[in-house]
Amino acid sequence: MPFYPPKAGTASIIRSEHLAMLMMDKTDLFCFSPTGGTAEVGRTFADAMADVVEFVDLCRNETVSNPGDGVAVFAAPVFAGRLPPVAAERIRSIDGHGRIAISLVVYGTRAYDDALLELNDILAERGFTVIASGAFIAEHSIVRSVGSGRPDGRDADDIVGFAGKVLAKIGRGDSTVPSVPGNRPYRPDFVASSHPTTSNGCTLCGRCAKVCPVGAITVTDEKVVTDERTCFMCMACVKACPERVRNLPAPVMDAMTAKLGPLASVRRPNETFLRRQRPYPAPASPGPWTHPASRASSRSSGSRGAGSAPPTDSP
């Protein structure tokens, strides 16, 4: 899968002298990013953290060539308030052995719901110590008018600024685990209701099959076949198609645009978490504990209780 580097001229390549003094020699960036938005956020952050970044492409199910014991950065997309199951599965295959980790989720403006909490739970389960977390915005992978152009220069400033705070925390020897929004049990897994199809004009180049993270696409001498049981609507094939003839069926696109289109005018702020919050009282009625920030996000977005939503990331 191709890597989409940060946009030239953003703050990701403008490092202050103070930040440069704090930077580490090397970090590993574990990234699941079918369409590039998550990779752009993750790389911008990792480049501000270390002189050398080993990019581990979880879409290709890569492993680290020389893991060591340094800081690990994990970046994953949000699909309907959760991690894509295939991303969660691949992250679960990585052993932490006590390594410090930073977790990042990237979403397409609607809400990240339980995804960041889920990522942190998986990393803790695998033996990582998560000392900082962030939720960042990228262009929506399906309705691209939502979050259009993000991450942009303002986002890069946020990302690089967050990296500086994380480096300062590491420099102080502070390994406290931050509190992040989310619920346990998590909201239901996203289940794809459709899959991209190929229209007239396809040259059978095979690019779609090459970038599919789960091998759901087969290209023959006559046509492109998609295994609908395996496809999870990550949109990697749509982004990669050079002829622009790969897309979701028109009725599905129309429904998603109608649902998410109003968010095109919303500029959701990025959120970062470095400190453990004071415990909050449990709700009076039985039900999952909810972080106050998650409640506020849910009220503003109307995401909770709305049923299964389409993927909300630009992975």
Q: What does the pLDDT profile of the chain (315 residues) look like in tens digits?
A: 333 344 444 443 444 555 555 788 999 999 999 999 999 999 999 999 999 999 999 999 887 766 667 899 999 999 999 999 999 999 999 999 999 999 999 999 999 999 999 999 999 999 999 999 999 999 999 999 999 999 999 999 999 999 999 999 999 999 999 999 999 999 998 888 899 999 999 999 999 999 999 999 999 989 999 999 999 999 999 999 999 999 999 999 999 999 999 999 999 999 999 998 654 333 333 333 333 333 333 433 333 333 334 454 445
Q: Are residues 47 and 175 in the same domain?
A: yes
Q: Are residues 41 and 160 in the same domain?
A: yes
Helix 37-49 with 153-171: angle, nearest 10 deg: 40
In sign, the C-alpha dihedral spanning 14, 111, 105, 23 is positive
Q: Are residues 42 and 65 in the same domain?
A: yes
CATH of the domain at 202: 3.30.70.20
> Residue 91, SS3?
helix
* DSSP-assigned beta bridge partners for residue 272: 134
Q: Are residues 27 and 68 in the same domain?
A: yes
> Residue 55, SS3?
strand
Domain residue limits at 220: 197-247
Asked if residue 159 lies in contact with residue 48, where contact means CB atoms within 8 angstroms, the answer is yes
In sign, the C-alpha dihedral spanning 121, 122, 128, 130 is negative
Q: CA-to-CA distance for 75 and 133, rounded, in angstroms?
A: 10
Residue 277 located in a structural domain: no
Of 153, 184, 215, the domain-final residue: 184
pTM: 0.83
Q: Are residues 155 and 210 in the same domain?
A: no
Domain count, the chain: 2
Residue 42 located in a structural domain: yes
Q: Are residues 125 and 209 in the same domain?
A: no
